[in-house]
Amino acid sequence: MVKPVFDPLAMPVEGLAGEPALAPERLTAEAVRARFARTLPWEPEASDEALAAPALRLRRAAVLVPLVERPDGLHVLLTTRTDHLSSHAGQISFPGGRAEELDSSPIETALREAEEEIGLHRRHVEIIGVLPEHVTISAYRVTPVVAIVSPPFELSADPGEVAEIFEVPLSFLMSGANHERRSVSLPEGKGKRTFYAMPYEHYFIWGATAAMLRNLYHFLRA
């Protein structure tokens, strides 16, 4: 996404999604692997961002959704982008980016970008599946590639893109009680945009990242 024309933290909380938290036994590495190996009916959640995307040729991109195995359960690895970037500046995101011509698939894009951005070597990464594409308002079609990541591993942030690497317990993110609904009136009478936010400690997860986590929640609870 481009830099927001509003401060998402300043937008009041209008409500919570409120769905129940997923049971701990559904959030183990074994259970998540098994869920991606099954075909079950479920309904992805469309975001206002996708509905507002410009009618242009969408560019391909992919992100890695790394689920790190820790003693207390799976954690989601996320990054804070540097403040000087022309897009997504200061926002929290998954490692990932635009597809390149030599990428054979969205999986290859996600693995390559994770290596470049945070130094996560693919030998630690077990791809278990993909989620539905997420269309951004900046005309990207993003494929979320979900993976189990096995420690120990070393990370090294690209200082040109990543300000911080951190983890959030998957159990926190897989509870509708932690999914805030916020909205903003767009300039020039262009209507209202509603988005999800998932504040955790001093981190403010929102926008495309929160939308993809919402679909991971819906997928795992099916």
| CATH number, domain with residue 204 | 3.90.79.10
Q: Are strands 162-169 and 125-130 parallel, antiparallel or unpaired?
A: unpaired
- Structural domain includes residue 70: yes
From the number of C-beta atoms within 10 Å of its C-beta (0-12, 13-18, 19+), residue 106 rates as: buried
One-character DSSP codes across 2-48: BPPSS-GGGSPEEEE--PPPPPGGGSSHHHHHHHHTS-----PPPPH
Q: Residue 11 has what pLDDT?
A: 85
If pLDDT is split at 50, 70 and 90, which confidence band does 2 have?
very low
- Structural domain includes residue 192: yes
- Structural domain includes residue 2: no
If pLDDT is split at 50, 70 and 90, which confidence band does 200 have?
very high
Q: Record the pTM.
A: 0.92
Q: Quote the DSSP letter at residue 58.
A: P
Judged against a pLDDT cut of 70, whether residue 83 lies above it is answered with yes
Residue 81 amino acid letter: R
- Structural domain includes residue 5: no
**d(Cα 179, Cα 210) in Å, to the nearest integer?**
8
Query: Where in the sequence is the domain holding 155, given as residue range(s)?
Result: 18-221
Q: Residue 110 has what pLDDT?
A: 98
> Which one is predicted more confidently, 183 or 143?
143
- Structural domain includes residue 11: no
For residues 2-23, give the mean pLDDT. Answer: 82
For residues 58-78, give the mean pLDDT. Answer: 97
Judged against a pLDDT cut of 50, whether residue 3 lies above it is answered with no
Listed range (30-39, 95-104, 133-142) with the worst mean pLDDT: 133-142
- Structural domain includes residue 29: yes
Angle at CA of residue 151, ends 25 and 149, nearest 5°: 60
Q: Residue 217 has what pLDDT?
A: 98
For residues 70-76, give the mean pLDDT. Answer: 98
Judged against a pLDDT cut of 60, whether residue 149 lies above it is answered with yes
Length of the chain: 222
- Structural domain includes residue 6: no
Exposure of 143 in the CB half-sphere (CA atoms within 13 A): 18
- Structural domain includes residue 13: no
> Which one is predicted more confidently, 162 or 51?
162
| Residue-averaged pLDDT of the chain | 91
Name the 3-class secondary structure at 156.
coil
Q: How many domains does the chain have?
A: 1
If pLDDT is split at 50, 70 and 90, which confidence band does 178 have?
very high
**Measured between alpha carbons, how far is residue 147 from residues 10, 29, 65, 95, 212 in Å?**
33, 10, 6, 12, 14
Angle at CA of residue 101, ends 140 and 103, nearest 5°: 85
Question: What is the percent of the chain with per-residue pLDDT over 70, rounded to a whole number?
Answer: 89
